[in-house]
Amino acid sequence: MSFEKEIQKRRTFGIISHPDAGKTTLTEKLLLFGGAIQEAGAVKNNKIKKSATSDFMEIERQRGISVATSVLAFIYKDKKINILDTPGHKDFAEDTFRTLTAVDSVIVVIDVAKGVEEQTEKLVEVCRMRKIPIIVFINKLDREGKDAFDLLDEVEQKLGLSVTPLSFPIGMGYDFKGIYNIYEKNINLFSGDSKKNIEETIAFDDVQSPELETVIGEKAATTLRDDLELVNGVYPKFSKEKYLASEQQPVFFGSALNNFGVRELLDCFIEIAPSPRPKRAEEREVVANEKDFTGFVFKIHANMDPKHRDRLAFIKIVSGTFERNKPYLHVRNNKKLKFSSPNAFFAEKKEIVDISYPGDIVGLHDTGHFKIGDTLTEGEELHYKGIPSFSPEHFRYINNGDPMKAKPLYKGIDQLMDEGVAQLFTLELNGRKIIGTVGALQFEVIQYRLEHEYGAKCTYENFPVFKACWVDPDDKNNDEFKEFKRVKQKFLAKDKQGQLVFLADSQFSLQMTQQKYPSVKLHFTSEFE
Ligand code: GDP
């Protein structure tokens, strides 16, 4: 198959949702369609069910699962589908944000009864900022939920999207009869005594046809006709161009658990979702069909086997082909590296591959060369943009708990930070080290992993800070900046890259600082122009 065709057949995407909306269930049903798994229950749910108590085994188990489900790939109707896993738990939101730099589109799952929830809002905001094409799947139609139009309004308002339904429910909950597929112009009946997985598709070009009454009954037929008229009147026609430009978001309804509405979603998805999109590097934009390989690290995972200290770095291929045993330039280190056993992912397994194409993810064994955001090329000095660090919200001093183990402790901290587990700051005033995390659970993960993987012990001490902001002065030599640095000395630190960070101890002090020193810009992500 030609290089161009290989690119065209790839769909690399992520499924995002608030925990419990049905992401795992939907993923599993998609894999079933691809024939990648034989039965339900094969995809492990990688969410942390328990609260943030010290259940370290649980954390370990979760890490194991998330290696296995980091990338799930399968073939469906000649398309190579790569699903990148995005943890739903809010303490791991940063992981998800970074994974979103490697997807070409997303499917957002929303629970019909709960509507738009907090995590969905945050994740969709990131997608919108990056202009990632979004399809919305409203799930659990077999349950009583919100009115479809109200829900569409909610999605528009809370998520700032511009939706157009491509399917529409006929009834809901107990009265759920099925779905009218606006995109394919047919009706999918949800029927049978058990209301389980019994699917019948009836072509229905014209819903005005009296046959509709015989199929779904008089009352439902009238409601559906009215609903569709309203849909036509209120929502714009679906435009693939607008969807690809992230200006319009198609919506599907269904029930992942009952495998209902999932095929329709998948069939439409493979038709409209983008193949690998161009990606901006600091130097230029890179297009998938360029001959030379380029890619970047978006995730690093420690090996689960304590005997092998190596890690797996996940690379998204942006352009060209990635070949086994071919030397590539690690741009940050200015070093050529060869990989004898790159892993590709298929269903829930990984295997060694000789060649991978744009859109694919390869897992490379790493003994500490990589960190998140690193770029690999065939020689070009290229730096991919868009892997920001987010402003952490939990802070603690980190101390060495065993004076004999200082070296492994610092090595461990260094490597965990490269993996993106948390961020390390060094106070300007006294050089003390502070760990900042997006979620509180990370402190336990760090402590546990330092002990089990590096044989080091750490202790924490509270450090009452509200938020860390990256400092970007208009002019390093102006008096305002000098004054800011002098007055706020106690609250200034450097991040691992040496960027200056302001640690605000409260919302109030943050606002006051912004007012007092307007020429000192404070940013909530490490990436700014
Ligand atoms: P995730 O946290 O988003 O991955 O959610 P899961 O896929 O684990 O689903 C959360 C719960 O909702 C599970 O108990 C599922 O069985 C259930 N669920 C998922 N889809 C549906 C659906 O279509 N209908 C109903 N009634 N329950 C569902």
**pLDDT of 178-193, one tens digit each?**
889 888 888 888 764 4
Of 359 and 199, the one with more pLDDT: 359
User: Do 258 and 291 reside in the same domain of the chain?
Assistant: no
Strand, coil or helix: 319: strand
Domain assignment present for 230: no
The share of the chain scoring above pLDDT 70, in percent, equals 88
Q: Are 375 and 319 in contact (CB under 8 A)?
A: no
138 CA to middle of ligand 1, Å?
A: 12
Q: Is 365 annotated as a binding residue?
A: no
Q: Is 375 annotated as a binding residue?
A: no
In a domain, 207, yes or no: no
Place 311 in a pLDDT band, splitting at 50, 70 and 90. Answer: confident
199 pLDDT higher than 80: no
Contacts of 340 (CB under 8 A, 6+ apart): 324, 325
CA dihedral 282, 286, 292, 298 (to 10 degrees): 70
Among 486, 493, 480, 491, which Cα is nearest to 520's?
Answer: 480
Residue 462 tokens read as 């509270």
Q: What is the mean pLDDT of residues 117-142?
A: 93
pTM of the model: 0.85
Strand pairing report for 361-366 and 433-437: unpaired
What is the predicted pLDDT for the residue at 215? 83
Q: Which residues of 23-44 are buried (b: 16+ CB within 10 A; e: fewer)?
A: bbbbbbbbbbbbebbeeeeebb
Nearest ligand 1 atom, CA 139: 23
Residues 14 and 75 in one domain: yes
CATH number at residue 432: 3.30.70.3280
Domain of residue 98, residue span: 3-174+235-275
Position 324 in a domain = yes
Q: How far is the CA of 137 from the centre of ligand 1 (A)?
A: 13
**At residue 523, does pLDDT exceed 90?**
no
Domain-embedded: residue 529? no
Closest atom of ligand 1 to 47 CA is 2
Q: How many structural domains does the chain have?
A: 3
The reply, when asked if residue 165 is annotated as ligand binding, is no
At residue 413, what are phi and psi to the nearest 5 degrees?
Answer: -60, -45
**Tokens, residue 364:** 């490379």
Q: pLDDT tens-digit profile of 21-47? A: 999 899 988 988 877 666 555 555 555
Domain annotation covers residue 180: no
- The answer to whether residues 249 and 287 belong to one domain is no
Closest CA to 398 of 424, 426, 434, 431: 434
Within a domain: residue 228? no
Q: 499 and 371, same structural domain?
A: no
Confidence grade of residue 3 (pLDDT, cut at 50, 70, 90): very high
| 45 CA → ligand 1 middle, Å | 10
User: Based on the domain organization, do 320 and 424 belong to the same domain?
Assistant: no
Mean per-residue pLDDT over the chain, rounded: 86
* Ligand 1 center from residue 261 Cα (angstroms): 14
The single-letter DSSP state of residue 205 is S
Check: CB of residue 391 under 8 Å from CB of residue 339: no
pLDDT for residue 383 = 93
Residue 418's pLDDT is 85
Q: Are residues 339 and 400 in the same domain?
A: no
% of the chain surpassing 90 pLDDT: 53
pLDDT at 81: 95
Q: Using the atom order of ligand 1, give the atom closest to the CA of residue 27.
A: 7
Residues 323, 360, single domain; the answer is yes
Is 369 annotated to bind a ligand? Reply is: no
Residues 83 and 16 in one domain: yes
Last residue of a domain, one of 223, 245, 275: 275
> pLDDT tens digits, residue range 401-442?
998 889 999 999 988 888 888 899 999 999 999 999 887 878
Q: Does the residue 201 lie in any domain?
A: no
Q: Is 500 annotated as a binding residue?
A: no
DSSP line for 335-381: EEE--S--EEEETTEEEE-SEE-TT-EEEEEESS---TT-EEESS--
Residues 32 and 128 in one domain: yes
Residue 310 makes CB contacts below 8 A (sequence gap 6+) with 303, 365, 366, 367
The verdict on 10 and 111 lying in the same domain is yes
Consult the annotation and say whether 70 binds a ligand.
no
The helix/strand/coil state of 54 is: coil
Of 316, 350, 377, the one marking the end of a domain is 377
Residues 150 and 264 in one domain: yes
- Taking only the tens place, the pLDDT of each residue in 341-377 is 998 887 767 788 999 999 999 999 888 889 888 999 9
Mutate-to-test residue for ligand 1 from 23, 25, 119, 120, highest number of ligand atoms within 8 A of CB: 25
Q: What is the CATH number of the domain that holds 285?
A: 3.40.50.300
List ligand 1's pocket residues with C-beta within 6 A: 17, 19-25, 45, 47, 88, 139-140, 142-143, 255-258
Residue 296 belongs to what H/E stretch? strand 294-302
pLDDT at 163: 97
372, 300 Cβ separation under 8 angstroms = yes
Q: Is residue 224 part of a domain?
A: no
Please identify, among 220, 246, 275, the residue that sits at the C-terminal boundary of a domain: 275
pLDDT band at 525 (very low <50, low <70, confident <90, very high): confident
**End-to-end alpha carbon distance in the chain:** 41
* pLDDT for the residue numbered 375: 96
Substitution candidate for ligand 1 out of 20, 29, 47 with most atoms within 8 A of CB? 20
Q: What angle do CA 474, 479, 481 make, to 5 degrees?
A: 45
Residues 364 and 340 in one domain: yes
What own/partner pairs with CB < 8 Å and gap ≥ 24 does 300-306 have?
300/366, 300/370, 300/371, 300/372, 300/418, 300/419, 300/420, 301/63, 301/66, 301/67, 301/70, 301/419, 302/63, 302/415, 302/419, 302/449, 302/453, 304/63, 304/64, 304/67, 306/452, 306/453
What is the ipTM, given to two decimal places? 0.99
Ligand 1, atom 11: closest residue by C-alpha? 20
